[in-house]
Amino acid sequence: MTSPVYYVDGRFVPADQATLPLGDLAIMRGYGIFDFLRTYRRVPFKLREHVLRLYSSAEQIGLAMPWSVGEVEAIVHETNDRNGYDDAAIRIVVTGGPSPDLMMPGQQPRLAVMAEPISTPPERQYAQGVGVTTTRMARILPTVKSLNYLGAILAVVEARKIGAVEAIYRTPDDHVTEGTRSNLFIFRGGKLLTPESGILPGITRQVVLEVAAREYPVVLTDLTYADLLGADEVFITSTTKEIVPVVKVDGQVVGGGRPGECTQDLMERFKAYVDRCLTGPSHRPHSL
């Protein structure tokens, strides 16, 4: 397979030649942000939403963004077109750039856009559900999609040891907020519940809320660990996962131990939503 083409700091280069100077604040201090989207049949899904979230992340950490939304979108399209994957994972990265004292941010952030063939969860995760753990790690500035996933990596390494695929953040007052790379939902008494704050505003979460609102009462509310264990159904969402049912939390069976009916219904509706975006209204859009 040929090497993917990345955009880095003004140039398109083969992935294995894409480099950043070591003095970049992203490398020295983890100061930088990213966003992550996918394509369906070569068409970027919710590109504008992802780029706007990127700008929101940048603003929240005071990172300069010398590019316009249109410029960033054009670079994403060009990276996607140059690679030509049917279903691509696209990462937009903005690093802090050079800093005179390796601490204070300057005004020369660097932009990179990477594309790879997407890797989605194995089919059995959708059919049988997955296990998750909970972690006492916390994200600082949870509404920012920061490059720093230190707590996430440590938590997922622990989760994998017991066969779980994801770890859910659990606060000191025993609320559960989101996964390390996903948002969290439960069904209880026919209602769909998900936290409103203290989370990354997931783009998949937003689509799920939109699709679900036509069928189910939706409640945006804090969730406790007890809510999670006692839920009728649990699922997590992300760009690569879409909707994945959760059947175990910290080794305890939840939701009867199999993917729930409402979750499966939402999985269908999510797919139908994507298909509608791809086929309608007249011809194929540049992005969905």
Residue among 79 and 237 whose Cβ is closer to ligand PDD: 237
Rounded to the nearest whole angstrom, what is the least distance from the CB of residue 46 to ligand PDD in the complex?
8
CA distance 214 to 87: 28
Give the active site residue among 145, 161, 241, 271. 145
Least distance (Å) from ligand PDD to the CB of residue 107?
27
Query: Is 248 tagged catalytic?
Result: no
For the CB of residue 108, give the shortest distance to ligand PDD in the complex, in Å.
25
Q: How many helices (H) and strands (E) does the chain have?
A: 8, 16
Q: Strand, coil or helix: what is 153? A: helix
Q: Which residues contact 71 (CB under 8 A, 6 or more apart)?
A: none
Is the distance from CB of 216 to CB of 192 less than 8 angstroms?
A: yes
> Is 181 or 248 the residue whose CB approaches ligand PDD more closely?
181
Q: What is the Cα–Cα distance from 38 to 153, expressed in whole angstroms?
A: 22
Say if residues 123 and 267 touch (Cβ distance below 8 Å).
Answer: no
Please name which of 288, 266, 264 lies closest in space to residue 276, comparing C-alpha atoms.
Answer: 288
User: Which of 57, 204 has the CB closer to ligand PDD?
Assistant: 204
Binding site for ligand PDD (CB under 6 A): 36, 178, 180-183, 200, 202-205, 237-240
Q: Which is nearer to ligand PDD, 134 or 253 (CB)?
A: 134
Smallest distance, ligand PDD to C-beta of residue 172, A: 18
Tokens of 38: 């996918």
Catalytic residues: 145
